[in-house]
Amino acid sequence: MRGPGLAGIVGGVIVRDLTLAGRRPVDVMTAVIFFVIVVSLFPLAVGPESRTLATIAPGVVWVAALLASMLSLGRLFNADYADGTLEQMLLAPQPLSLIVLGKVAAHWLVAGAPLVLISPLLGLQFGLPAEGLAMLALALLLGTPALSLVGALGAALTIGVRGGGALVSLLVLPLCVPVLIFGAGAVEAAVSGMDAGAHLSLLGAFLVMALCFGPWVTAAALRIALD
């Protein structure tokens, strides 16, 4: 009898992790609430000057999205590590990289996709024009999956480490700087009336590279961490 195909393996992991996340709605909403609060504080602190707000908006939203995605990385593998499920995944006949890909996809659906959906609403606080709001959502759509893929590597390297949450941030944040630069640059270009195609192309290239190598490298890190 044939086993599940590649899509079936990834889909099964996604459904499992989304089901578990649905049982902990507080954990699911933490990143979203943090993102909303951080972005909303800047207009209050900077003041109502529209030109200043529009100038800082891309950087503020992207930094907030990056920090919000870091909040949930500690739970990516730790729960499975604590109950022994992760060891069973390593012994499963399915490729560990596919299991990792499914877990990262579920993480993005829980912690990344909501940020993409609400970003245009938050961008209105900064007076961004319509083209800036659309570009903000598009850039986050390309960039946040890359953040999850890169973050999974940091989460794998810090499994079982005391204070692993802070260590994950120290490991991952420098690697996410290119995504931050190109994502904010795309929005700035759109607001200025310039072509944002170069920034989006670089974001897309970073995402493709992370998809190709991220799950495999994370799987190797998991094997090393559990040896």
Reported as half-sphere exposure (CB side, CA atoms, 13 A), residue 174 has a value of 3
Q: According to the model, what pLDDT value does residue 147 have? A: 92
Average pLDDT across each block of 10 residues of the chain; the chain has 227 residues. List them in order: 64 87 80 91 83 88 90 80 82 86 92 92 90 94 93 85 70 88 93 90 94 92 83
Contact between 31 and 115 (Cβ < 8 Å):
yes
Q: According to the model, what pLDDT value does residue 1 have? A: 39
pTM summary value? 0.89
- Please tell me the distance from the alpha carbon of residue 144 to that of residue 73, in angstroms, as a whole number: 13
Contact between 207 and 200 (Cβ < 8 Å):
no
Closest-CA residue to 217 (of 74, 103, 96, 82)? 96
Contact between 206 and 182 (Cβ < 8 Å):
yes
The 10 Å Cβ neighbour count of residue 78 is 18
Q: According to the model, what pLDDT value does residue 163 have? A: 59
Domain map (residue ranges) of the chain: 6-226
Q: According to the model, what pLDDT value does residue 43 have? A: 86
pLDDT in tens, 154-200: 888 888 676 566 677 788 888 899 999 999 999 999 988 889 999 99
- Please tell me the distance from the alpha carbon of residue 100 to that of residue 85, in angstroms, as a whole number: 13
Q: According to the model, what pLDDT value does residue 183 have? A: 94
Contact between 222 and 77 (Cβ < 8 Å):
yes
Contact between 123 and 133 (Cβ < 8 Å):
yes
